Amino acid sequence: MTLGPGDIDRWDAEQVRAVARAARSRAESASAVSAALRQLPVIEAWSGLAARAARVAIDLTRLALDAHAEESRAVARAADRAAEEIERVKSRLRSLDSDARAAHLIVDRVTGTVIPDTEFQGNSAQFATAADPILIRLSGILADATAIDDELARAISDTAIGLREPNAAVAAAGPEERKAWWGSLSRIAKDQLLERNPEALGNCDGIPAADRSRANVTVMARDIDRIASIAADYGVLVDDVAGEPERFGLSTTDVVRYTNAQRVSEGLDYTQSQTGTEVYLFVYRPQEFGGQGRTAIAIGDPDHAGHTAVVVPGTGNNVANGWLAHSDDATNLYAETLAATGPGPGVSVLAWMGYDAPDSLVDPRVSQTLLARQGGALLAADVNALNVTHHGPTHVTVVGHSYGATTVADAAAGHRMQADDIVLVGAPGTDLARAASDFGLPAGGHVYVGSASTDPITNLAGMSGRVPGVGFTTEPIGLGADPAANGFGSTRFKAEVSGWTLGSWGDHEHYFDSGSESLFSIADIASGHGAALQEHGMTAAHRDSILGPFASRLGLPDWSIPILDPELPRPATSGHYHHPRPSAGP
Amino acid sequence: MMSGVMNPMTPQQSRSQVVDAARQVVATLGLEVVEAWFWHSACNSRGDPPFRGHMRIGYPLAGSYEAANAQITLMAATLQRAGWSADPTFHSHAPALKNNNVIVILRPQDPNAATRGVEILGECRDMTTTIEGRGPVQPVNLS
């Protein structure tokens, strides 16, 4: 709305300053409450599930309070600015009135124009000559006044949204609601929140990957700096501080966070240099799983990718021992999937070290399903969060290796993970999923399986109650059905390994090797071209009992029936080579 | 653990193998190198030996995906004239060629990357490097 000179007369800069003072006072109150919540002594000492739940609730409240404080400060700043502008505009209008009077003219408040006073002497041409400069100045003043008015109104209404939404949306804590809340904030407000509350926002499902990553990288950098800066201040080595943190006023938690932050930072550097593309720190929880850490790095923006794949590693891997930097699984898959995809918005691959994997092959938990089921819940939540913030059509493939394959099966069959396709490589069993139909995939979705005939881990699948080397446990052992077996309902692809010397892990660790049948096939699937496996000669026959359909009638335990793997006598294939897909390609 | 490889290489030899090949590829193709990175990469998911030398050379993006493809086809032909040949045992969706047991992969244009990539993979013959001791990704000066 355009203002008139009468509106400017009625403006009162002092009233606007009073608004600024009230907003600032409200900001200070909110900040004080937030700070007090952070410093509650009980929070430091309290442990257990209830404490954890309380901490989450307190974090969310602090997030809302801090957001409230920041928005209030923004109003205060806008109001102060507006008050100054108002005074300037009023002064310019007074000066214009004075100049007009000297020329026997009046700036008319009713019509918003310039008229002659009773003493004006002259004809209409002389009036126009005198009035035009006054009119030009008046229109400039009115335009500025309108802009000030609009800006103040926008600042207040933006803030009204900001003040109203975070409490409701964040407290509800559903990814969709968080997305709506985040989307309602101005970019400035988002930037301020990311700066002030990175701990609360970095792992907040419903917030875009790029914003989560900014927050998580901020927290990671602080975790590194906390120890590095103390070492610099005292002139000692970082290892000295990490070895005796208490001497420097730090805790072992600070050391765990530092160590894992370094691992994650190395992982980010490696994946970025290896692929040349942008990487995102999608999940960063360095203290989880007894200090082994929970993290996911996305190579390429998962919110805008045409195809997204999530790589779930298996036994023996965690953040603390460096999987993110040490393994090329995700970067190799990224490069091959990009090549198999063709033109479009690009791809994203998540290196997902988001669950507590068994520590080693002699960890009793390796033959039990507990960690897979717990991990499945976390995986399902992270994958489903990807879907919430994604723009445009998407195709999500979740790829599980080794114990990670069991975790993927449990995420799909037990926790409603929303994936389009599933890939299981080196799978020791599918626990809650007894068949491909249990994965709950949409129409057109498939469970694809890569099991090298010479991979000893895949030969454990289908067994129960007998896993070599872990017989001392009293818990039920065995990880479930073999997805490569006939009747499971999977599509098996070729995954044989050529030219390798067998070690204790044998051919269990070559599914993501550059140039392998397996990586080539997984890229076909992750790029949405699973049907091309046939065309590329990459499908393989399923395993079957050597006794065929008679096996089930004999009443023998599963493990005692010899399995025939038609892939065993076949050497790895050769001759698979493709030029880049043309733009009109499938 | 792996029981070993025939004719192992030292970490330095495995680095030289790919850096030399990278120099040859850059010279043959007349590539404008924007960035070049080297790392020792484990030849399995476990991070166990053997290791190989691994490089990514970044060069400028083409005007479009199609233009990049056309250039990559020409680049593959140029490398073949210079002695590189297809390796039937190496499966890739991108053009991959081999020379003296070194693989070069011409990666397609990535809409989200600042450069196009050429990847160089050496032989899996380095039994000395460890995953913990291999250090960070190293920038390489190919000029």
- Please check whether residue B141 lies inside any domain of the structure: no
Interface probe, candidates A262, A271, A509, A535, chain B, greatest B C-beta count within 10 A: A509
Burial of A569 (0-12, 13-18, 19+ CB in 10 A): exposed
Q: Provide the domain limits for residue B64.
A: 11-128
Yes or no, beta carbons of B69 and A338 under 8 Å apart: no
CB-CB neighbors (< 8 A) of B87 in chain A: 515
Q: Out of A501, A514, A578, whose CB is closest to B121?
A: A514
Three-state SS for A365-416 is HHHCCHHHHHHHHHHHHHHHHHHHHCCCCCCEEEEEECHHHHHHHHHHHHHC
Measured CA to CA, the distance from residue A349 to residue A396 in angstroms comes to 10
| SS3 (DSSP) at B18 | helix
- Please check whether residue B4 lies inside any domain of the structure: no
Asked whether residue A157 carries a pLDDT value surpassing 70, the answer given is no
Find the length of chain B: 143
pLDDT for A288-330, tens place per residue?
Answer: 999 999 999 999 999 999 999 999 999 889 988 889 889 999 9
ipTM of the prediction? 0.96
β-strands B51-59, B85-86 pairing: unpaired
Yes or no, beta carbons of B69 and A582 under 8 Å apart: yes
The reported pLDDT for the residue numbered A570 is 72
B16 within 8 A of B85, measured Cβ to Cβ? no
Q: Whole-number mean pLDDT of chain A?
A: 84
Yes or no, beta carbons of B69 and A580 under 8 Å apart: yes
- Please check whether residue B30 lies inside any domain of the structure: yes
Yes or no, beta carbons of B121 and A339 under 8 Å apart: no
Share of chain B above pLDDT 90, in %: 91
**Measuring CA to CA, which residue among A80, A96, A88, A97 is closest to residue A21?**
A80
Instruction: Please name the residues in contact with A286: beta carbons below 8 A apart, sequence gap of 6 or more.
Output: A220, A223, A256, A257, A260, A261, A264, A293, A294, A295, A319
**A493 band by pLDDT with thresholds 50, 70 and 90:** very high
Mean pLDDT, residues A229-240 taken together:
94
Asked whether residue A31 carries a pLDDT value surpassing 90, the answer given is no
CB pairs under 8 A between A and B: 158
For residue A527, give the chain B residue with the closest CA.
Answer: B93
Yes or no, beta carbons of A300 and B91 under 8 Å apart: no
A83 within 8 A of A16, measured Cβ to Cβ? yes
Share of chain A above pLDDT 90, in %: 47
What's the token pair of residue A161?
């949204």
Measured CA to CA, the distance from residue A148 to residue A154 in angstroms comes to 10
The reported pLDDT for the residue numbered B26 is 98
Yes or no, beta carbons of A313 and B115 under 8 Å apart: no
Could you tell me which residue, A29 or A314, shows the higher pLDDT?
Answer: A314
**A455 band by pLDDT with thresholds 50, 70 and 90:** confident
Q: Which residues share a beta bridge with A534?
A: none
Instruction: Quote the minimal CA–CA distance from A175 to chain B in Å.
Output: 26
Measured CA to CA, the distance from residue A141 to residue A89 in angstroms comes to 6
Asked whether residue A584 carries a pLDDT value surpassing 50, the answer given is no
The reported pLDDT for the residue numbered A469 is 41
Measured CA to CA, the distance from residue B64 to residue A313 in angstroms comes to 35
B4 within 8 A of B43, measured Cβ to Cβ? no
Measured CA to CA, the distance from residue B96 to residue B78 in angstroms comes to 13
**A551 band by pLDDT with thresholds 50, 70 and 90:** low
**A565 band by pLDDT with thresholds 50, 70 and 90:** confident
The reported pLDDT for the residue numbered A547 is 61
Q: Which residue has the tokens 């029936």?
A: A561
Cis amide leading into B50 (omega within 30): yes
Asked whether residue B53 carries a pLDDT value surpassing 90, the answer given is yes
The reported pLDDT for the residue numbered A470 is 43
Yes or no, beta carbons of B94 and A346 under 8 Å apart: no
Q: Whole-number mean pLDDT of chain B?
A: 94
Yes or no, beta carbons of B41 and A504 under 8 Å apart: no
CB-CB neighbors (< 8 A) of B8 in chain A: none
pLDDT for A412-446, tens place per residue?
Answer: 999 999 999 999 999 999 999 999 999 999 999 99
| SS3 (DSSP) at B99 | strand
Yes or no, beta carbons of B113 and A277 under 8 Å apart: yes
β-strands A447-450, A491-493 pairing: parallel
Radius of gyration from C-alpha coordinates of chain B: 15
Measured CA to CA, the distance from residue B72 to residue A524 in angstroms comes to 21
Yes or no, beta carbons of A274 and B73 under 8 Å apart: no
CB-CB neighbors (< 8 A) of B37 in chain A: 273-274
Q: Looking at the whole model, is its pTM more than 0.90?
A: no
Burial of B72 (0-12, 13-18, 19+ CB in 10 A): buried
For residue A301, give the chain B residue with the closest CA.
Answer: B112
| Portion 48-77 of B in contact with A at CB < 8 A | 48, 54, 56, 58, 65-66, 69, 72-73
Measured CA to CA, the distance from residue B115 to residue B31 in angstroms comes to 12
Q: Out of B45, B88, B91, whose CB is closest to A520?
A: B91
Measured CA to CA, the distance from residue A278 to residue B55 in angstroms comes to 18
Yes or no, beta carbons of B91 and A275 under 8 Å apart: no
Q: Which residue has the tokens 């392998």?
A: A516
The reported pLDDT for the residue numbered A573 is 62
Measured CA to CA, the distance from residue A357 to residue B31 in angstroms comes to 44
Burial of A472 (0-12, 13-18, 19+ CB in 10 A): exposed
CB-CB neighbors (< 8 A) of B40 in chain A: none
- Please check whether residue B34 lies inside any domain of the structure: yes
| SS3 (DSSP) at A144 | helix
**A509 band by pLDDT with thresholds 50, 70 and 90:** confident
Could you tell me which residue, A201 or B129, shows the higher pLDDT?
Answer: B129
What's the token pair of residue A220?
């990671």
For residue B34, give the chain A residue with the closest CA.
Answer: A276
The reported pLDDT for the residue numbered A475 is 47
CB-CB neighbors (< 8 A) of A329 in chain B: 45
- Please check whether residue B5 lies inside any domain of the structure: no
| SS3 (DSSP) at B120 | strand
Mean pLDDT, residues B110-115 taken together:
94
- Please check whether residue B108 lies inside any domain of the structure: yes
| SS3 (DSSP) at B113 | strand
- Please check whether residue B1 lies inside any domain of the structure: no
Q: Where are the alpha helices (DSSP H) in A300-350?
A: 323-326, 329-341
pLDDT for A49-90, tens place per residue?
Answer: 666 666 666 777 777 788 778 778 888 888 888 889 889 999
DSSP codes joined into one string, A432-498: T-SSGGGG-PPTT--EEEE--TT-TTGGGTT--S--TT-TT--S-------TTBTTS--EEE-----
Q: Which residue has the tokens 């120890």?
A: A227
- Please check whether residue B2 lies inside any domain of the structure: no
What's the token pair of residue B104?
């070069």
For residue B59, give the chain A residue with the closest CA.
Answer: A276
Quick check: B101 contacting A, CB < 8 Å? no
Yes or no, beta carbons of B131 and A266 under 8 Å apart: no
What's the token pair of residue A307?
């195809």
Instruction: Quote the minimal CA–CA distance from A581 to chain B in Å.
Output: 8
Could you tell me which residue, A396 or A146, shows the higher pLDDT?
Answer: A396
Quick check: B8 contacting A, CB < 8 Å? no
Yes or no, beta carbons of A577 and B86 under 8 Å apart: yes
Q: Count of domains in chain B?
A: 1
Asked whether residue A100 carries a pLDDT value surpassing 80, the answer given is yes
Instruction: Quote the minimal CA–CA distance from B43 to chain A in Å.
Output: 7
Instruction: Please name the residues in contact with B75: beta carbons below 8 A apart, sequence gap of 6 or more.
Output: B29, B106
The reported pLDDT for the residue numbered A152 is 78
What's the token pair of residue A451?
């099991």
pLDDT for A331-374, tens place per residue?
Answer: 999 999 999 998 989 999 999 999 999 988 888 888 888 999 99
Quick check: B141 contacting A, CB < 8 Å? no
Asked whether residue A554 carries a pLDDT value surpassing 90, the answer given is no
| SS3 (DSSP) at B121 | strand
Yes or no, beta carbons of B44 and A513 under 8 Å apart: yes
CB-CB neighbors (< 8 A) of A498 in chain B: 89
Q: Out of A270, A504, A576, whose CB is closest to B137?
A: A270
Q: Where are the alpha helices (DSSP H) in A276-317?
A: 288-291
Yes or no, beta carbons of A346 and B112 under 8 Å apart: yes
Quick check: B7 contacting A, CB < 8 Å? no
Yes or no, beta carbons of A276 and B110 under 8 Å apart: yes
Measured CA to CA, the distance from residue A164 to residue A13 in angstroms comes to 27
The reported pLDDT for the residue numbered A351 is 97
The reported pLDDT for the residue numbered A37 is 78
Yes or no, beta carbons of A515 and B47 under 8 Å apart: no
Interface probe, candidates A274, A399, A510, chain B, greatest B C-beta count within 10 A: A274
The reported pLDDT for the residue numbered A546 is 66
Instruction: Quote the minimal CA–CA distance from B115 to chain A in Å.
Output: 7
